[in-house]
Every structure is written in C-alpha cells, then in structure tokens.
Amino acid sequence: MVNPEREIQPFVVNLTGINSKMLKNAPKFYEVAKRIIEITEDCVIVAHNSEFDYRILRTEFKRLGFPYKRKTLCTVSLSKTLIPDQASYSLGKLARALGIPVSDRHRANGDAVATVKLFKMLLAKDVKKVIVQDAIIVEPTFKMEPSLKQILNDLPNITGVYYIHNKNGDIIYIGKSKNIKNRLSQHFSNTNAKSKKIQLQTATVTYEATGNELVALLKESEEIKRNKPIFNRALRRNTFTHALYSFVDEDGYINLKIDKADGRKKPITTFSTRSSAKQFLFKAVEDFNLCQKLTGLDIAKSSCFNYSLKQCEGACIKEESNSTYNSRVTKFIEKNSYKNVNMAIIDKGRDISERSVILIKNGLFVGLGYANLNYQITNTDVLESVITPMENNRDTQHIIQSYLRKNKNLKTIIFESQ
C-alpha cells in the first residue's frame, strides 16, 4: 500500500475496503518511486485495464518532475480479442468464468496473481505470437546483438516450445524439446548449412513452458502452420507415412490393413513408419486375440500360423463366427480411435499446481489449455473458455493417437455426448 497524502474518497473505500486509517503508516509515493523505476526498467507493464494504472503512475512521477514512460499491455483488451463473448471482462467476474482462483481481492498481491494467471492463458491463446513479437521490438535489451552464448545462458532445461527471432522480432524458426537449453545448444553448435543460416539471423529466443511433450508437439505443429517461419518451411513434411484401416470382407469379418497414409480415407490410427505399424499390430493380435491372417500379418491361403499354435479361434477358416470375432476387433478399434468420443486428456502442467488438458469433442481435437482446479476440467463450459482453440487435422490426430499409444497410463475423462 502507498499513502496518497489525502483522504480516500468514500466510493473507493466501498470498492476496495481500503480506508485512510489503513494507509497512515504506508510509504509515500516518493519513497517507493526509485524502486518502481528499477523493477519496471526494460519491461512491459501488464495490467487489467492498464490505461488506468499507467495513468496513475505517470501522474505521480510527473509531480516528482520525472518523465515516466513504459510500454503497457492491457489484459482487458487482450481478453476481448482472445476470449470473446464473455458476460463481463472485470477481473473478478472474468476470473470466475474461467475458473481462475482469486484471493485477497483489491489488494496488490491477490489481483496481480490473478492477472498473471489470466495473462499466461492469453499468451497460450495467442498462437500467432503477436504479444511476444511486439514486446521483443519494444524491449531495449533486444536491440543489441547478443551472442548465442548469452542467449543460451538465459534458457531453461525444461519441456516446451521455443521461438527463434531475428532482429525485427519475426519468428524464423519454431521447435519443441524436452530440454529447451540442450536443443538450442545443438542449433547453435551445428555446422550444417541450415544451422549456420539460423545462427547468423538469431537475435533472441523466447520460449513457452508446456509441462509435457504432448502439449509441446501440438503447439509446435499448430504454430508452424500459423506463423510459417522461414526455416521451418523446407523441413515441414507429414510426420506420419502409414495408417491402419479396416474393411469388411465378403464373409462379414472385419479385416485390418496397414497401408500408406491416404488423406481421403479415415484411419483407425497412424504411424511414422511401416515397421512401427506392424509392431503395434502384432501386439494388438496378442492383446485382443485377433487373427494374423485377417490383420494382414500372415498371407497364408488357409489357416494362419497362430491357429496351429491354438492362439487363434479360427476366424481365418470361418471356424469362429464373424459376430464373435468382430466384437473383439470393434473393442480394439474403439480403444485406439477416439471417433465420436467426447473426452479430456489430462497430463502434467507447467508447475505442480496445474494440469494440462487436451479437449476432444465428437472425435475431433478442439484445443488445449491448463487448469488449476477440477472444476475447470469437469465443467465443459468453463473448460471450453480455458482452452486455446486449435485446428483438427491429420497431424494433430497422429500426434495425439501416437502419444496415447506410448503413454497408456495417461488420465482421460470421458464426457457424455452433448
């Protein structure tokens, strides 16, 4: 608190609960002015209705004869752009609508912590990175050409997405890593032609912690498509080459088949290589007691090899009924395809108090976000406000399905159909 050296107006007392008696022993503005200058130097001031806060700061500094100038960002206007159609954009009501916990309202710490949580959500929703790029151009520290070693020293050993910027703030490369610092060290020490070009144009690196690899993979894929960095264009190719399809044969049995990925067909799941697809299918045959012949793993004209070992019920020679066999195939397909499913995939967050949430609606990837409370996850209306909307495409389907295959203990919440 700061003593304004005047009586507090009644409407302010009613709004904040702060009265003149509470400020009697608080420091006066001139006593904290030097510290405010120090902590805001080379920074962008973020506030909910920043015009109001910034105007007060400038007015007080003007009284001291000091021209105070800083770049500001307003989370009210950013919220209206990135989280549209909210009933109210006051900090308290917006925080409640988004499930952001708020304590100690109308006090510096409580409001600031809530604004930080809101701003982190807005940064995540800003997939075009307009906020970050604007800040880079403004901050004086980035006008100098820092060495690559200095940049590395400021980077953390965390999982996330990193953005390499040129001197104009433009993103020239986007990547993801389980260890951002180590990955950038490789970029800056490699001697191939592409790495050398990146090194010459690098002015700074920004990053976004994701907490886990799934969010990093999805954000990297989405933001490369949105921002089209110059050094990602030549590299971008489909991350999957093969897919698993199903069809019903003339005898009524559901067959499975590994084939090259075809965008015109709807796969059960996709793979980066044919060998990984075959390995997955051999495991499925074992787990669901499927027929090797009807999964394309055995080209025998009569019974499959597993039938001779009494590990196949005989669907390959019509000894087992198609309805009984198909029920097991259907269970396998349902487990490995989230077609028509409404669910949330829960994983580690950026810190111990939060969780990441990947939202699937009607079998389509809707977006991702972070939640501190179970209420934010289980209430679908709040969840849809919290998440960053993202595009559902073949890349995202492949990333999610592949991650679910590798991380079988990942928590998922199934919602009732809406």
- Residue 178 token pair: 């389980």
77 touches 174 (CB < 8 A): no
The model's pLDDT over 4-57, given as tens digits with 9 standing for 90+, comes to 888 888 888 887 888 889 998 999 999 999 999 999 998 899 999 888 889 999
pLDDT in tens, 311-356: 899 999 999 999 999 999 999 988 888 777 889 999 999 999 899 9
User: Of residues 146 and 186, which shows the higher confidence score?
Assistant: 186
Region 233-255: what's the mean pLDDT? 81
Q: What is the model's pTM?
A: 0.68
Length reported for the chain: 418
Q: Quickly tell me which residue has 């006051």 as its tokens.
A: 90
pLDDT at position 237, please?
Answer: 53
413 Rama sector, left if φ>0, alpha if ψ -120 to 50, beta otherwise: beta
State pLDDT tens for residues 357-402. Answer: 999 998 889 999 998 888 788 888 888 888 898 988 888 888 998 8
pLDDT range class, residue 416, cuts 50, 70, 90: confident
Q: Buried b / exposed e across 379-391, counting CB within 10 Å, b at 16+?
A: eeebbebbbbebe
Asked if 163 and 206 count as a contact pair (C-beta separation under 8 A), the reply is yes
Among 99, 209, 122, CA closest to 163: 209
